[in-house]
Structure 1
Amino acid sequence: MSFDGSFTHAMVHELNQTIATGRVSKINQPYANEVVLTVRANGHNYPILLSANPTYARIQSTQIPYINPPTPTNFTMILRKYLQGAILKEITQVANDRVVHLHFTSRNELGDQQELLLIIEIMARHSNVILVDSASMKILDAIKHVGSDQNRYRLLLPGAQYIMPPKQDLDDPFQGPRTDLAATIREFPNQEVLAQTLQHQYQGLGKDTAAALATALHASGDAQKHFQAFFERFNAPQPTLTVTVNNKTNFTAFPYPTSGTTESHPTLSVLLDHYYEDKAERDRVQQQGSVLIRVVRNELKKNRTKLKKLQRTLAETENADDYRIKGEILTTYLNQVVRGETAVTLPNFYDDNRPLKITLSNQLSPNQNAQKYFKRYQKAKNAVIYVNEQLEKTQADVDYFSNIMAQIELAAPKDLVDIRLELQEGGYLRDHDHQKKNKKQRRQKVSKPDRYTASDGTKISIGKNNLQNDQLTLHSAKRTDIWLHVKDMPGSHVIIHDADPSEATILEAAQLAAYFSKGRDSSNVPVDYVPVKRIHKPNGAKPGYVIFTGQKTVYVTPESDLVARLAD
């Protein structure tokens, strides 16, 4: 289901019950298009997410942790100036549209009371979060600035007059039906056509909501009554996550008539956290890690192209002996070779004197032609050693950057900091801060690995990138601890902080290793485990690369529920 007007109605109702009359205690902008207001209400702190993400725009209370940037944005500073300590009076929705107004009251620098509106417009790629002075309706700032070159209808710039999005000439379904529904049903007996008709008549009906409403109306004898009853359910929602038979996941304010498995959640916000956690994280990583992804992809492409060329060169060197044989035959039968010829056929004494045709240069003497073949033989022979060395090095680079790409795919936004540092230290990514003059440089600390606790209380650590992996395995772990890693694929280093863990703990740690690896979506994933004292890092090896001996292997199927349960 999309975050349509009807779901917005239910969310506004939930947030009013939860945070209305609360006070803003913190304001952060962890991501480019998302603001988090922490509202203190009823003795609890509620982080309220206002997202103008083009794909995942929404408003909700969230418990998903986030990392703030080291320097707040201009929009964050404006919000803090006007809303820090402000009272949230109420939250309203414009008709049944996806436009929500958060009404605040606060004091300005002179101590005078002022009314402010924080408006979130949930409109796909046109989504925005806008701070407006209620008295003048002047825009104080917006998370996305929209000038006249982008939108002639209205400006979304500081100082501009706030103009509502173009209003649709549709009815608010929460005001009741405006037409004879029984007549509409008779006119459109097909449920799919009826659903489309309802969408064109009533505001804020997504495709799923319209289809569910059409089904409810068709099944009832009193369409008017069931219409009102359908929308009353949005005021007392039963948050539901549905996985259809096509393995598509949908969220709804209450169960819609559809085939598939359903899962209930206590609140709409918890439902959205569960639905968006992975999707939104992937999108944030793609946005924040776009430069890293481009660098790694370019390095992968360059090294894979080089690998193919080296393999072709190596295949060509397999003919080195042919050059030697031709040189020796020419040397043996020099008296039979006439200068100026372009080819000669001579008996091959390496092959029962069978005739062998040898190509010649008509510009060289017979002896010079023979020496040319010997030089080509020696060059090809020497190339074998060089090409094999380059093949090994290039394959190591391909494996390394494949591992980096896998780490980015599995990373949370906070993990990108270490990956960026690793690429900078490796010379693959320019450190712009390092280029600045007259600025003291401090070596950036590697972030701490994630911590988990096995069912029996044993502590488990997981490195989420190569720098964390090296720090964890080579410096933090005891020699008697147990090290785990998926077999023959990119993944995290996992440490069990126990010299003699139980079999159950090993299996749980192995599931963590499989989950934080390229094999996350696979079953029966092989995981090697071995004491840390048997782990070694070759001299000059790239970050994250180690060798080991004497390992044992277990096979597990990663489960996200177990990972969530073991998290500290």
Structure 2
Amino acid sequence: MNLKVSFDLLTLEVFYEETKDIIIDSIIEKIYQIGSTDIFWEIYSPHNGRYNLVLSVHPQLYRIQLTRKNFPYPSKPPSFSMLLRKHLEGGRILDYYLIPQERIIEFKIKTFPEENKKVILELMGKYSNLILVNENNIIIDAIKHVPSEINRFREVIPGANYIYPPKSIKIPISELTEDKLESLLNKDIPIRDLILKEISHMNPHIVNEIIEDIGNKMANILTLTEKNILKERLLNIKEKIIRREFKPIAYLINGEPITFSLFPLKEYEDLEKKEFDKVYKLVDYIYSYAFEKALFTQKKNRLLEIIKTNIEKVEEKIKELDSQIKEGEDSEIFKIKGEILILNQSSIRKGLEKVTFLNPYNPNEYIEIELDPSLSAIENAQKYFKKYKKLKRGISILKDYKSKLEEELFYLNSIEFSIENANSLSELMEIEEELEKEGYIKEKKEKSQKKIKKSEPYKFISSDGFEIYVGKNNKQNDHITFNLAKPEDIWLHARGIPGAHVIIKAQDKEVPDSTLYEAGALAAYFSKGRNSTYVPVDYTFRRYLQKPKGAKPGFVIYKNEKTIFAKPEEALIFLSQEFKDSFKVRW
């Protein structure tokens, strides 16, 4: 199920109240930007320590967020973040305030010796923006430019006067009365739309609770009883909001958040819940998950695009080589043509473009031979002999080159498999690092503000008590095979297809067949043969493995192997709830 989030006015208002004392007087130590929409301020609060303050204008994940999590950021900062660094880094946040009844947050920042600056965060869905202005309210720059061609009433470009967006015309929840509700409920509008459009601090979850047993009827056809129920519920919500009687809750399915609310929701009451004592902590939990998932998906798609492009290039080269090799293997005909020209030189005059003679090696076949009219019969023959020798000599070189390309193709397919099966950002970052070292990624990769915890190989315990390790990518495959495994441990791999290295730690004991077949099932499951009924899996002692000098990560050669036929589905017994959790997007 997709995550359903909405950074509404109520969430923003409570977030602001809870974080005001943390943010005011904080020092902006570092500014960086991820993508085109998310600005991060690393702030130091004298009384609360360091935080990352996230100011996002993402069309779906627009928000303000206070977190202690660390994120990977580009080594080359975008121009807007460079501008913010110039004007704001080292500055102190003098004030931080919320425009009443609006989703607009303002920061007043002092940097010596410059004049005070103001940063305005407008949280308005796809129209969200982050704007830097000077003391005279002149726009220095914005993360999104809005020229007059798009909005002639409100330009957002450098040098323009900053103008606030039009004020909300909704009824403030604090001013809601029974009389005002009576007037609203006479309108010819569905009640769900009516409440969302006419009353502040409402969101779809709250409205669904309010109209739960009434339905989304037209307001003006409601019965008196239904109107009274709606009035009572709306006024009850009003009192809870005024008294700040919140119960911040995240709702989860299989341990993954799907939505959040400041009030308990009946429609999700049967789901797993995670409660928080503060709204800003709930916001951090929900949006960190959502942002990490977005980063994971973005990086995964980017890496897959790089790999698929390289796979296509290698496949095209192999196709070209096959054509050249076939031509080389057909080179005998050029030798025969040269011999025919020598045999019949006396009957071939200079200037002819082609001739036809009987094939001396096949009396039933005539061969047509193209000639260079400017050359004699002997010179044309020498030309054919030269072509024959060149093709013969080159065919072995071409086959060697093709073999190397096939090895590269296998490697790229194994990388593609690792990317497709990755389930954490740290795994993708390890793969990205490998691709950078191998030259498939030229530009500098993202750096991390602080060291992000590296992913670990999967570890399982067989039914006989033996440890089984499974690599998640080529880097981990090399690690478990050549660092973790001892010579007497058993190594397994799906035969002839990309997949994980699997190690059984023998612990100076004889490994029983039951453990061997369980490890074989894991090798089959973590391979491209996962959807097959049976997968051939080779196994041998670790001492029979070698990594050739200069070989790519994950590549080994082995001997004295035996083969079992394993069922990938039999690995499912190891997929306990704890293991399934590792398939969630996380750091």
- Pairwise TM-score range, normalised by the shorter structure: 0.5 to 0.7
RMSD across aligned C-alpha pairs, in angstroms? 6.0
**Which of 231, 236, 248 pairs up with 1:224?**
231
Report the equivalent of 1:474: 482
Specify every segment of 5 or more residues in structure 1 that has no aligned partner in the other structure, as ranges: 434-445
Report the equivalent of 2:323: 312
* Matched letter for residue 303 of structure 1: V
Report the equivalent of 1:537: 547
Taking the aligned partners of 2:253 and 2:28, their CA distance within structure 1 comes to: 34
* Matched letter for residue 122 of structure 2: E
Report the equivalent of 2:10: 9
> Is 1:512–1:563's contact at 8 Å kept on the other side of the alignment?
no
**Which of 153, 170, 186 pairs up with 1:183?**
186
Taking the aligned partners of 1:565 and 1:297, their CA distance within structure 2 comes to: 26
- Aligned ranges 1:518-529 → 2 under 5 Å: none
> Is 1:139–1:156's contact at 8 Å kept on the other side of the alignment?
no
Report the equivalent of 2:274: 265
Taking the aligned partners of 2:29 and 2:500, their CA distance within structure 1 comes to: 34
**Which of 354, 361, 380 pairs up with 2:364?**
354
Report the equivalent of 2:90: 81
Measured against aligned partners, the alpha-carbon deviations of 1:417-475 in whole angstroms (never above 9, x if no partner) come to 76666566555666899xxxxxxxxxxxx998533685769988887665565466435
**Which of 298, 306, 326 pairs up with 1:283?**
298
Report the equivalent of 1:164: 164
Taking the aligned partners of 2:405 and 2:357, their CA distance within structure 1 comes to: 42
Q: How much does 1:510 deviate? A: 8.0
Q: How much does 1:359 deviate? A: 2.9
Q: Bigger CA drift: 541-550 or 401-410?
A: 401-410
- Aligned ranges 1:52-71 → 2 under 5 Å: 52-60=57-65, 66-67=71-72
Taking the aligned partners of 2:206 and 2:515, their CA distance within structure 1 comes to: 46
> Is 1:514–1:527's contact at 8 Å kept on the other side of the alignment?
no
Query: Normalising by the residue count of structure 2, what TM-score does the alignment of the two structures yield?
Result: 0.63
> Is 2:494–2:523's contact at 8 Å kept on the other side of the alignment?
no
Change (3 A) 1:342 1:355: farther
Taking the aligned partners of 2:214 and 2:55, their CA distance within structure 1 comes to: 34
Change (3 A) 1:342 1:139: closer
Taking the aligned partners of 2:435 and 2:63, their CA distance within structure 1 comes to: 34
* Matched letter for residue 9 of structure 1: L
* Matched letter for residue 298 of structure 2: D
Change (3 A) 1:376 1:198: farther
Specify every segment of 5 or more residues in structure 2 that has no aligned partner in the other structure, as ranges: 217-224, 277-281, 446-450
Secondary structure of the structure 2 residue equivalent to 1:390: helix
**Which of 314, 318, 336 pairs up with 1:303?**
314
> Is 1:510–1:554's contact at 8 Å kept on the other side of the alignment?
yes
Query: Normalising by the residue count of structure 1, what TM-score does the alignment of the two structures yield?
Result: 0.65
Report the equivalent of 2:220: none
Change (3 A) 1:295 1:213: same
- Aligned ranges 1:127-526 → 2 under 5 Å: 127-128=128-129, 144=143, 153=154, 163-172=163-172, 176=176, 180-184=183-187, 187-188=188-189, 201=198, 217-218=214-215, 221-222=226-227, 223-227=230-234, 235-236=246-247, 238-241=249-252, 251-253=259-261, 263-267=272-276, 268-269=282-283, 270-283=285-298, 299-329=310-340, 341-348=352-359, 350-351=361-362, 353-361=363-371, 363=373, 364-403=375-414, 410=422, 426=438, 449-451=454-456, 454=459, 466=474, 470=478, 473-475=481-483, 478-480=486-488, 499=507
> Is 1:36–1:47's contact at 8 Å kept on the other side of the alignment?
yes
* Matched letter for residue 379 of structure 1: K
> Is 1:238–1:265's contact at 8 Å kept on the other side of the alignment?
yes
Taking the aligned partners of 1:170 and 1:273, their CA distance within structure 2 comes to: 31
Change (3 A) 1:132 1:201: same
- Aligned ranges 1:553-564 → 2 under 5 Å: 555=568, 556=571, 562=579, 564=581
Measured against aligned partners, the alpha-carbon deviations of 1:509-558 in whole angstroms (never above 9, x if no partner) come to 9869967x879999999887765434321122223422334376662357
Taking the aligned partners of 1:522 and 1:236, their CA distance within structure 2 comes to: 49
* Matched letter for residue 456 of structure 2: R
Change (3 A) 1:202 1:328: farther
Taking the aligned partners of 1:64 and 1:80, their CA distance within structure 2 comes to: 20
Percent identical pairs in the alignment equals 24
Taking the aligned partners of 1:508 and 1:11, their CA distance within structure 2 comes to: 51
> Is 2:493–2:523's contact at 8 Å kept on the other side of the alignment?
no
Report the equivalent of 2:123: 122
Measured against aligned partners, the alpha-carbon deviations of 1:121-170 in whole angstroms (never above 9, x if no partner) come to 3345654556889xx6969998848597998835587x997653444544
Report the equivalent of 1:436: none
Q: How much does 1:383 deviate? A: 3.3
Taking the aligned partners of 1:560 and 1:521, their CA distance within structure 2 comes to: 21
Taking the aligned partners of 1:482 and 1:183, their CA distance within structure 2 comes to: 77
Secondary structure of the structure 1 residue equivalent to 2:318: helix
* Matched letter for residue 388 of structure 1: K
Change (3 A) 1:394 1:362: closer
